[in-house]
Amino acid sequence: MKKYLLLLALAACTPTKPAMLPPDDNTTEEAPQDHKLIIYQLMTRLFGNQTATNQPYGTAQQNGVGKFNDITDQALQSIKRMGVSHVWYTGVLDHATMTDYAQHGIPADDADVVKGRAGSPYAIKDYYDVAPDLAVDVPNRLREFEALVQRTHNNGLKVIIDFIPNHVARSYKSDARPAGVVDLGEQDDNTQAFKPSNNFYYLPGQPFVVPADYRPLGGLPAPHKDGKYQENPAKATGNDVFSAAPSVNDWFETIKLNYGVDYQHNRQPHFDPIPDTWLKMRDILVYWARKDVDGFRCDMAEMVPVEFWAWVIPELKKVKPGLLFIGEAYDAKTYQMYIERGGFDYLYDKVGLYDGLRRLSRDEGSTRDITRVWREESRGFGGHMLRFLENHDEQRIASPDFAGNPRAALPAMTVSATLGTGPVMLYFGQDVGEPGRGAEGFSGEDGRTTIFDYWGVPEHQKWLNGGKFDGGGLSAEQQQLHDFYVRLLTLSGQREAIRRGRFYELQSTLAAQNPNYNAERVYAYLRYTDRETLLVVVNFSPRQAYALNLSLPAALRQGLHLPADKPLTYTDLLGTGGTVESTQTVTLAPQSSHIFEIKQ
């Protein structure tokens, strides 16, 4: 086995000023600020479901459905023990579904404009209501949600829910809106394709046409399925499709909201006076903020004009000053604008860091992708980028579509959690290697855990363990994986150097000192403050181990205030907790991660 030797020796002078490494290409000018949220995302419909039937296109009765009440004190304490600070309850708001709750005044929606039997949680049917699926007692569903919020807070965790501002279900109609609230579209002039005061965009004279090749429930009987849906005039579809006949590959089950942008005339803005949709969306956000929600994950934030966010976020922070806004974003060219002008606290780092780490986890790409992210793409605002490796939209790490092995992503998750001072997110089941197997129904065999269907999540259910939330059903290998995530997330949330320390990349330093250093597969950097220095080293190679000794130039030793004439100890906080001296060699096993605390 080929080994790459790098000398481990650090030294410094007596500190006379705060620890500061040289301002060069290995770091940025960004002043560290503590943004280290540890977010646990769970799909509320699936999280507490203990049923293991998993019948494709199965009903809620066949496959089971998780409830608000399933997220017990015990569940929340188990989540908190993972180092988590915030829980993102995904799929809370009332959305279109084929499930019939007519006995409670909520009939099934037309299957021709619903994706999956359970329906997409991003096709909202009532912004002022929660999904009846999630309640044990449907008429009291809002109270059950309020109890969950209180229970979450009582267990020392904060609550994030989705806000879906760009589009709603075609069947949108708010039955739960407070007295005096005018519903979306209620006062629209649907003879006008665009009007600043309208809530929707219209196609006058053209009725909506259901995609001819859409087969709800794969051909099984479905409510109201006849290939027709009464909408005349047709409204523009959620993914900016201004056609009465959207494709089956479009978001045809949704309709686009009008924020005062005339898309069909060069996106001409009409923001004065404030558009009616802005006011309605503000009121909806205020409604949930007053339910004691702590933050919103804002779906497809870039499809809504930045001017709206610049107006509404300050409005909401007047109501609740600590309220968080997290934007789902994919256009790196607009990141800085949506943070600085739009006022977002955090944005997804998907197109940059996630994509690069995914390639490395598949033994593709290069660590240069990581360097490009912090040096160029999010330079100066990296602390505002939310890092993750899984969420409800992405494929599971353990699926063949991603890495096929949950341990393949441990170096990537270490980088996600510790590269900067910003938040990191874990998706439920990721910590036990959930592979997202099964053709659940609408979702199909795609390496993802379905958001459209009723389903049990098998590996997660082993951690659930009949409602004990103690991991009692996990294999030894799964327990080791879970323990790794607990150590990593706890370290990330507690260690000063990770929460608020500076960053210094060691790639060029090591390459200059040792021509055998494999900078394509090994990545190393420092996170440090005046009181703590951590060395993070990860090996992305699935086959090759590396023996490392690290040598740092005098300027780095001096900047870190570490002595040149005394041996240093390196304690592995992420692994076994073993300690080595600076004269010893450290071996990086394939697909391994280390966080060393360096002390005199």
d(CA 564, CA 43): 52
Residue of 573, 575, 600 whose CA lies nearest to 587: 575
Taking phi over 0 as left and psi of -120 to 50 as alpha, with beta for the rest, 413 belongs to alpha
Calpha distance 87→161 (Å, rounded): 8
Surface-to-core class of residue 39, CB atoms within 10 Å of its CB (0-12 exposed, 13-18 middle, 19+ buried):
buried
126 CB neighbour count, 10 Å cutoff: 23
DSSP 376: I
Q: Which is nearest to 556 in space by CA: 168, 10, 152, 122?
A: 10
Contacts of 39 (CB under 8 A, 6+ apart): 84, 85, 86, 87, 88, 160, 386, 423, 424, 425, 426
584, 576, 575: which is closest to 550 by C-alpha? 584
Give residue 587's pLDDT.
87
User: Would you mind telling me the total number of residues written for the chain in this entry?
Assistant: 600
Q: What is the DSSP string of 531-558?
A: S-EEEEEEE--SS--EEE--B--HHHHH
Phi-psi region of 122 (alpha: psi -120 to 50; beta: other; left: phi over 0): alpha
pLDDT tens by residue, the chain, 600 residues? 333 333 333 333 333 468 889 889 999 999 999 999 999 999 999 999 999 999 999 999 999 999 999 999 999 999 999 999 999 999 999 999 999 999 999 999 999 999 999 999 999 999 999 999 999 999 999 999 999 999 999 999 999 999 999 999 999 999 999 999 999 999 999 999 999 999 999 999 999 999 999 999 998 999 999 999 999 999 999 999 999 999 999 999 999 999 999 999 999 999 999 999 999 999 999 999 999 999 999 999 999 999 999 999 999 999 999 999 999 999 999 999 999 999 999 999 999 999 999 999 999 999 999 999 999 999 999 999 999 999 999 999 999 999 999 999 999 999 999 999 999 999 999 999 999 999 999 999 999 999 999 999 999 999 999 999 999 999 999 999 999 999 999 999 999 999 999 999 999 887 887 677 899 999 999 999 999 999 999 999 999 998 887 766 778 888 999 887 777 888 999 976 688 876 677 889 999 999 999 988
Q: Which residues contact 316 (CB under 8 A, 6 or more apart)?
A: 282, 285, 286, 289, 323, 325
What does the DSSP 8-state code read for residue 507?
A: H
Q: Whose CA is closest to 416, among 476, 466, 337, 355?
A: 355
Q: What are phi and psi of 244, to 5 degrees?
A: -75, -15
DSSP state of 346: E
Going by C-alpha positions, the residue among 353, 335, 368 that lies closest to residue 418 is 353
| Alpha helices, DSSP H, located in 155-211 | none
Q: Domains, the chain, ranges and CATH?
A: 38-184+270-493 (3.20.20.80), 501-599 (2.60.40.1180)
What are the residues facing 529 on neighbouring strands? Answer: none
Can you read off the two tokens belonging to residue 177?
């809106």
C-alpha gyration radius of the chain: 25
- The Cα–Cα gap between 157 and 84 comes to 8
Measured from the Cβ of residue 508, the count of other Cβ atoms closer than 10 Å reads 13
Helix (H, G, I), strand (E, B) or coil at 414: helix
Contact 350, 330 (CB under 8 A): yes
Question: Which pair of tokens denotes residue 271?
Answer: 């923001």
Which candidate, 299, 244, 307, 301, places its Cα nearest to that of 275? Answer: 307
The three-class DSSP label of residue 569 is: strand
Q: Which of 307, 310, 306 is nearest to 331 (CA)?
A: 306
Give the single-character DSSP code of 54: -
